[in-house]
Amino acid sequence: MGPGKRSAYAAVTVVCAVTVLATAGTAFASPTPTPSASASGSASTSASSPTALTPAPNTDLEAVRQKLDTLYHDAAVATDSYNAAEEKAQQQSAAIVDLANKIVQGQQKLDELKKRAGAAAAAQYRGGGLPDEAHLLLSDNPQQFLDGAGRVLQGQRATKGLIAEMTQTQQDLEQYAADASTQWKRLEANRKAKDSARKKIKARIAEAEKLESKLAKEEKKRLAELEEEAAYQAQTSWLSSGILDEINGKASAQGKKAVAFAAAQMGKPYEWGAEGPKTYDCSGLTSQAWLSAGDPIPRTSQEQWKQLKHIDVKDMRPGDLIIYFDDASHVGMYIGDGAIVHAPRPGRTVTIAGAGSMPILGVVRPDA
């Protein structure tokens, strides 16, 4: 291992050991729970009981850690579903407002066309019902008749055009109404999807909190240590591949702005569905960071993975987004030196973590 690699490795190890691992827990997308009186009460009760004096074996606590990871992961997936439904609902609401304006404008146009059509019909009626031949025979001035006949012909053509425009306007109004009805149905479907996701998020978090509340004080401390160890081992394994020797990309001007924004949110609580300014979920943080840099990106981690340009891990640079887990349920922003800034999970705050402390799905670049 060369000097450069050793220094980089040491620097990131320090980051992981001090800043990353000081914040326990695997990162997922979900809300920040508020400690309840019942939870603290059960903890103090168990601490005073005979069983609480003997911490559970590490194997049992490891099973608890894995169960908590699963619960928070399920909450993360549901959070992405909630955020996606919320984003679509906002778009559909805007579309309904736009269609409503078009319907109002179209109805006003149709009313005006009807007035013009009525005036044209009245003018033709006043012209008399005699055929053109009779008008020609009775006319003292044939040229004047021909001139008048030409004007009548022009009027008839204009009337036909008026009728065609009225017909098109009526068809447009019918289409606007049908589109609005469709958007209303989609809006209702997304409202139900949001409610379903909200219930699932709350259920998973409540189950996780209940599981944690059953642990004694010493067990909770050891559980946190197990979480830290798991993250540390994953990061160490990632670094040992020599990946940092290959990653040397420089941040773009926009990337620097996005990193600065995300870093400025350090210490703010995690809350599912939140986009700041006081709380964030994982994709709320990354989407707002890039919005502040002048480059709006999709709201959810799954859509960020689908829509943004994919980059090889070795080619990533500060500001790029690392997508985690096979279902793209978590996202963090790469800040250099093998680290990310991200909003982890309930009970955690925006913090720095090792880029390899979770299973990496891939990397995307918002300003490709």
Q: Summarize pLDDT for 8-44 with one digit per residue, the tens.
A: 333 434 344 333 333 334 444 433 333 333 333 333 3
Instruction: Answer with the residue of higher pLDDT: 5 or 245.
Output: 245
Q: How many CB atoms lie within 10 A of CB 149?
A: 14
Give the pLDDT band (50/70/90) at residue 151. low
Q: Is the pLDDT of residue 295 over 50?
A: yes
pTM above 0.75, yes or no: no
End-to-end CA distance of the chain: 33
- Residue 46 pLDDT: 33
How many separate helices (H) and strands (E) can be counted in the chain?
10, 6
Strand intervals (E) in the chain: 309-311, 321-324, 330-336, 339-342, 351-354, 360-365
From the list 16, 73, 135, 282, the catalytic residue is 282
The residue type of 134 is A
Integer Cα distance of 154 and 354 in angstroms: 79
Residue that the structure tokens 């989609």 belong to: 186
Angle of CA points 77, 265, 295, to nearest 5° = 75
- 135 classed as catalytic: no
Token pair of 336, please? 């250099």
pLDDT in tens, 174-216: 787 887 778 788 777 777 877 788 888 888 888 888 887 888 8
